[in-house]
Amino acid sequence: MKTIDLRSDTVSHPTSAMREAMARAVLGDDVYHDDPTVNQLEADAAALFGKQAAVFVSSGTQGNLCALLAHCGRGESILVGDTSHIFRYEQGGMAQLGGIVPQPVPVQRNGALRLDDLQAAISPDDEHMAKTSLVTIENTHNAAGGIPLSVEYTAQVADFARSNGLRFHIDGARIFNAAAAYAVEPKALAEGADSLTFCLSKGLCAPVGSLLVGDAAFIKRARRARKVLGGGMRQAGILAAAGLIALHEMRLRLHEDHSNAQLLAEGLSEIPGVTIQSQRTNFVYFSLTAVAGLSAQEFAKALREDYQILISPYGGEQGLFRLRTHYWIDRTAIDKVIMAVGALLS
Ligand SMILES: *Cc1c(COP(=O)(O)O)cnc(C)c1O
């Protein structure tokens, strides 16, 4: 029996086309800018987002940190969502390594930061206070449930940034899921932003890698930041080869993951005892009202041991579960999961 792993889209393996491209990739020393496959990936990423340049980084976390180090000086502060990945799940790298002060702003249920809240969080011109220099949003918003932010909202934040003299960074780890959800071109979701990070792993199935895009002078500074963080890679084209397939092919099929997530939510919602808490893009959250005497941990364990289905209990013992669809979860897998949950709860 094959394992059905719904814990996250980060568990997705590279496709066979990626493995073949990796074996064939033409390589060079990327620290010398000599790797043609990396150069191609960076050029294509920049073009896709309508920016001048891009830099290939090892992870989304490294991309976000390079962006903040390239945009901000020590003692400057940034406006950032209070449940955002940058604020909560990156070890406060900006403060640890860059002397940058995060100013958290409440993330709304729709994944957005209110413009009024942003305005109020800007430091006044006062020598007691860290000077606000940047605003950042996250698209899709991970902790809010994979919620995509629209082109219109992005444009509003860009206007806000411009009129307040702030720079604007987007953590677009799953920006292609947002593009698929709204059926828009990726560059429309980056318009007015000074920089954007996105992941080639996760739903796009590359084994490693993210990109940071922006203007040429910014990317030059970001490249310096990447080097000091130990992110200068040599024959990285072997990874970029998979990245090119992620960028050109895999991003175009994400709507399939979204419809599978929808089918999963619909199927689960018909099982007595299951309540769907939310379903956006490739994310599904459900809770159990009657766990049939099982704790959340026990329920997940039974799914794993009896059906080889992996899901993430989320929020401890409250019986909330997080599932994420990806390339390796097909319709048959969705049907199996619905059957297994039904069987365990009957
Ligand atoms: C996954 C993710 C990142 C980056 O994560 P890495 O594991 O470092 O690649 C950044 N932001 C968001 C919203 C993410 O979901």
pLDDT of residue 1: 62
Task: Show the ligand 1 pocket: residues with CB < 6 angstroms.
Answer: 59-61, 85, 138, 142, 171, 173, 199, 210
pLDDT of residue 258: 98
pLDDT tens string 134-166: 999 999 999 999 999 999 999 999 999 999 999
CA angle, 193 then 184 then 284, to 5°: 95
**Interacting residues of 329 by C-beta distance below 8 A, sequence separation 6+:** 4, 5, 6, 257, 260
Q: What are phi and psi of 309, to 5 degrees?
A: -110, 125
pLDDT of residue 313: 87
Closest among 195, 309, 192, 187 to 251, alpha carbons compared: 187
pLDDT of residue 319: 79
pLDDT of residue 318: 63
pLDDT of residue 292: 61
Closest among 326, 277, 327, 320 to 295, alpha carbons compared: 320
Probe residue for ligand 1, chosen from 58, 137, 171 as the CB with the greatest number of ligand atoms within 8 Å:
171
CA 304 / ligand 1 centre spacing (Å): 26
SS3 (DSSP) at 283? strand
- Quote the CA–CA distance of 110 and 143 in Å, as a whole number: 11
- Quote the CA–CA distance of 54 and 175 in Å, as a whole number: 16
Q: Kind and range of the H or E element at 77?
A: strand 76-81
Cα-trace Rg, the chain: 21
Q: What are phi and psi of 186, to 5 degrees?
A: -50, -40
List helix spans (H) across the chain: 16-24, 36-48, 60-71, 85-88, 93-98, 115-121, 151-163, 175-182, 216-228, 237-248, 254-269, 296-307, 331-345
Domains in the chain, please, with CATH?
A: 14-248 (3.40.640.10), 253-345 (3.90.1150.10)
- Quote the CA–CA distance of 6 and 8 in Å, as a whole number: 5
- Quote the CA–CA distance of 142 and 122 in Å, as a whole number: 24
CA 294 / ligand 1 centre spacing (Å): 32
Instruction: Look at ligand 1, atom 6, and give the residue with the nearest C-alpha.
Output: 60
pLDDT of residue 317: 59
Instruction: Look at ligand 1, atom 5, and give the residue with the nearest C-alpha.
Output: 60
- Are the C-beta atoms of 104 and 260 separated by less than 8 Å? no
| Averaged confidence pLDDT in the chain | 96
Q: What are phi and psi of 95, to 5 degrees?
A: -80, -45
pLDDT of residue 166: 98
- Are the C-beta atoms of 213 and 43 separated by less than 8 Å? no
**Model pTM above 0.85:** yes
Probe residue for ligand 1, chosen from 10, 84, 89, 324 as the CB with the greatest number of ligand atoms within 8 Å:
89
CA 207 / ligand 1 centre spacing (Å): 14
pLDDT of residue 307: 97
CA 291 / ligand 1 centre spacing (Å): 32
CA 13 / ligand 1 centre spacing (Å): 17
Contacts of 258-264 with CB under 8 Å at 24 or more apart are 258/177, 258/180, 258/181, 258/282, 258/325, 260/325, 260/329, 260/330, 260/331, 260/334, 261/323, 261/324, 261/325, 263/331, 263/334, 264/323, 264/325, 264/334, 264/337, 264/338
Is beta strand 131-138 parallel, antiparallel or unpaired with respect to 167-171? parallel
Question: Distance of alpha carbon 94 from its chain centroid, rounded?
Answer: 18
pLDDT tens over the chain, length 346 residues: 689 999 999 999 999 999 999 999 999 999 999 999 999 999 999 999 999 999 999 999 999 999 999 999 999 999 999 999 999 999 999 999 999 999 999 999 999 999 999 999 999 999 999 999 999 999 999 999 999 999 999 999 999 999 999 999 999 999 999 999 999 999 999 999 999 999 999 999 999 999 999 999 999 999 999 999 999 999 999 999 999 999 999 999 999 999 999 999 999 999 999 999 999 999 999 998 755 677 888 899 999 999 999 998 886 656 789 999 999 999 999 999 999 999 999 8
Where b means 16+ CB within 10 Å and e means fewer, 241-271 reads bbbbbbbeebbeebebbbebbbbbbebbeeb
pLDDT of residue 294: 77
Instruction: Look at ligand 1, atom 10, and give the residue with the nearest C-alpha.
Output: 60
